[in-house]
C-alpha cells in the first residue's frame, strides 16, 4: 500500500497522484508540488489515503509545501498576465493572418513558461508567431492545438439539461461515444438532440450504456415470434428500462398486450418467417408462464387507471359546482357582461330602476285581448274667431320666397356655370 494525495491543476482537469512527504493535506487546500515542468500550484481533491501499489506509477513526485499567502498572490498576478497575453497573441494572429482560434493562456507558477491553447481545422504554421511572442514576453512559448471537447472544458458553460458541463465539472478523461449508443437507448437520432454544445455526441450517453446492454441481453428483439400466456404472437415494441414487451397475438384482433420478459418464450429471434411446422402448445402450458407481477402490470392500466380518472373527474365536477353556487350567491346574476368573477356593468342603474319586462312576440300580443278603458270624451275647447291661431305667422314677402326657393334648390336643377337664374321662380 502507498500513501498518496490527489492534486488537480485546473478546474475540470485530470487528477495526479503525489507523495505527501509526511504532510497532512485536507481536501480543498492548495499545495506546491514538483513536476517534470518545475514547481506547480494545484488544489488537493483527495486527502491522504492508501492505494494499491499497482495503481501507482513509481516514483511518485513529492509535495514541496502547502501554499502560502505569497504563493497565492503570485498566482493572482499570473492570472492577470494571462488576460494581457491572450489579447496580445490575438492581435499577432490577426497580423499574420493565421487560421486559428485562441482559447486560453496558461502561465507556469514561476512565470518561465507560457502555453497558448488554440483550435483549428487543420495544421497551422505558427513559427513566425512563436518568435514574435518570445521577443515580447521573454519566456518559453508553447502553442498547443486542442479539440473542440477540450475547448468546451476550458471555457465551461451549461448543457441542454441546465447543469454545468460534465467535462468541466468532474470528468477526468473523455470516454469514446458512438451513435450506436443512441440507437441502443432508443433515443432520437436528431443531431441537435444528442449533441452537446461542442458539436460532438454528449458524454452522458456513456453513463447508462452498460445498463442498456445488460437489458438487451434479457429482452427479445423487435418483430420476434414469441409464446406468451395468451397464445403466440409477434413482438411489436420493447421497453428496455421496464423490461416489458408488447405482443400482437395471432388469433386475436385486439390491441397488442403488454407482458414482462419473464412471461414470454422466444421461438424466433428478430424478423423472419414463421417457423415451419410450428404448432402452438396447449393453453394450459402457456398459462404457466403467467406471473402475478405481469398480471398487476396489465391491470394497472386497464382497471385502476380509468377508475382513478373517473374519481378525479367526479371530484373536480363537484368542486366546480360548489364554486359556482358560492359565486352565484356572492355576486348575484351571471347575465352581466363582466362574466364570472367580474363586477356587473350598469349595476348602479339596476339598483335604482327596475328591469324592463321582457317583450312578447307578435303572435302572443295578438292573442291577448286589449283591456277596455273607461275614458269619457272631453269636449273640445271653443276658439274665439277673432283670436289669431297659434300656427299663423306673418306672410313672407316675394323676395323672401325667392331666396328661400333658390337656397333649397337641388344641385342638378341649377344651370351650368353656377350662376343664378335671372328669372324669378314661379310661385
Indicate whether 114 belongs to any domain. Answer: yes
Indicate whether 6 belongs to any domain. Answer: yes
In this predicted structure, what is the pLDDT of residue 230?
85
Other residues' Cβ atoms within 10 Å of the Cβ of residue 350: 14
| Same domain flag for 223 and 282 | yes
> C-alpha grid cell for residue 379?
269636449
Indicate whether 335 belongs to any domain. Answer: no
Interatomic CA distance for residues 268 and 224, integer angstroms: 6
Last residue of a domain, one of 39, 67, 95: 67
Interatomic CA distance for residues 367 and 343, integer angstroms: 40
| Order of strands, sheet of 225-228, starting from the edge strand that comes earlier in the sequence | 257-260, 244-249, 231-239, 225-228, 265-268
> C-alpha grid cell for residue 127?
513559427
Interatomic CA distance for residues 63 and 24, integer angstroms: 10
Task: Supply the pTM of this predicted model.
Answer: 0.57
Last residue of a domain, one of 261, 290, 319: 290
The residue among 211, 213, 246, 214 whose CA lies nearest residue 228 is 246
CATH of the domain at 89: 3.30.300
Q: What does the pLDDT look like over 317-344, one tens digit per residue?
A: 565 555 545 555 444 444 444 444 444 4
| Residue 141 structural domain | 74-146
Indicate whether 339 belongs to any domain. Answer: no
Indicate whether 266 belongs to any domain. Answer: yes
Q: Where are the beta strands (DSSP E) in 251-321?
A: 257-260, 265-268
Interatomic CA distance for residues 47 and 6, integer angstroms: 7
Indicate whether 225 belongs to any domain. Answer: yes
Which residues of the chain fall short of a pLDDT of 50?
A: 302-307, 309, 324, 329-355, 363, 391-394, 400-402, 405, 408, 418-422, 427
| Same domain flag for 205 and 225 | no
Q: What does the pLDDT look like over 366-402, one tens digit per residue?
A: 555 555 555 555 665 565 555 555 544 445 555 544 4
Task: Tell me how many domains the chain contains.
Answer: 4
Amino acid at each position: 500500500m502507498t500513501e498518496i494525495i490527489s492534486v488537480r491543476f485546473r478546474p475540470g482537469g485530470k487528477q495526479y497522484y503525489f507523495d505527501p512527504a509526511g504532510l497532512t493535506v485536507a481536501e480543498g487546500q492548495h499545495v506546491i508540488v514538483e513536476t517534470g515542468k518545475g514547481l506547480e500550484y494545484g488544489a488537493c481533491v483527495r486527502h491522504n489515503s492508501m492505494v494499491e501499489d499497482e495503481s501507482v506509477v513509481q516514483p511518485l513526485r513529492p509535495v514541496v509545501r502547502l501554499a502560502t499567502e505569497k504563493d497565492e498572490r503570485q498566482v493572482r498576478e499570473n492570472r492577470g498576465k494571462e488576460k494581457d497575453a491572450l489579447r496580445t497573441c490575438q492581435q499577432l494572429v490577426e497580423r499574420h493572418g493565421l487560421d486559428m482560434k485562441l482559447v486560453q493562456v496558461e502561465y507556469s507558477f514561476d512565470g518561465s513558461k507560457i502555453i497558448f491553447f488554440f483550435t483549428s481545422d487543420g495544421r497551422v504554421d505558427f513559427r513566425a508567431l512563436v518568435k514574435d511572442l518570445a521577443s515580447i514576453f521573454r519566456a518559453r512559448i508553447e502553442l498547443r492545438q486542442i479539440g473542440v471537447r477540450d475547448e468546451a472544458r476550458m471555457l465551461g458553460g451549461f448543457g441542454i439539461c441546465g447543469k454545468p458541463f460534465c467535462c468541466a465539472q468532474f470528468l477526468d478523461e473523455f470516454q469514446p461515444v458512438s451513435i450506436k449508443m443512441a440507437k441502443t437507448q432508443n433515443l432520437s437520432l436528431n443531431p441537435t438532440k444528442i449533441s452537446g454544445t461542442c458539436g460532438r455526441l454528449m458524454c452522458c450517453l456513456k453513463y447508462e450504456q452498460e445498463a442498456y446492454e445488460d437489458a438487451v441481453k434479457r429482452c427479445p428483439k423487435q418483430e420476434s415470434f414469441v409464446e406468451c400466456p395468451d397464445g403466440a404472437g409477434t413482438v411489436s415494441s420493447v421497453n428496455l428500462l421496464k423490461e416489458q414487451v408488447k405482443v400482437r397475438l395471432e388469433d386475436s384482433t385486439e390491441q397488442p398486450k403488454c407482458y414482462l420478459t419473464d412471461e414470454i418464450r422466444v421461438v424466433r429471434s428478430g424478423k423472419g418467417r414463421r417457423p415451419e411446422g410450428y404448432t402452438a402448445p396447449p393453453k394450459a402450458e402457456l398459462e404457466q408462464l403467467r406471473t402475478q407481477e405481469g398480471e398487476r402490470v396489465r391491470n394497472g392500466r386497464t382497471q385502476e387507471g380509468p377508475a382513478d380518472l373517473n374519481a378525479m373527474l367526479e371530484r373536480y365536477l363537484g368542486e366546480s359546482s360548489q364554486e359556482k353556487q358560492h359565486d352565484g350567491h356572492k355576486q348575484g346574476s351571471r347575465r352581466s357582461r363582466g362574466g364570472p368573477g367580474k363586477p356587473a356593468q350598469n349595476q348602479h342603474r339596476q339598483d335604482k330602476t327596475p328591469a324592463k319586462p321582457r317583450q312578447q312576440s307578435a303572435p302572443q300580443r295578438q292573442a291577448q285581448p286589449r283591456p277596455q278603458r273607461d275614458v269619457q270624451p272631453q269636449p273640445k275647447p271653443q276658439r274665439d274667431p277673432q283670436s289669431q291661431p297659434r300656427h299663423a305667422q306673418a306672410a313672407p314677402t316675394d323676395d323672401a320666397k325667392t331666396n328661400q326657393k333658390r337656397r333649397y334648390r337641388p344641385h342638378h336643377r341649377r344651370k351650368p356655370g353656377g350662376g343664378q337664374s335671372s328669372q324669378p321662380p314661379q310661385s
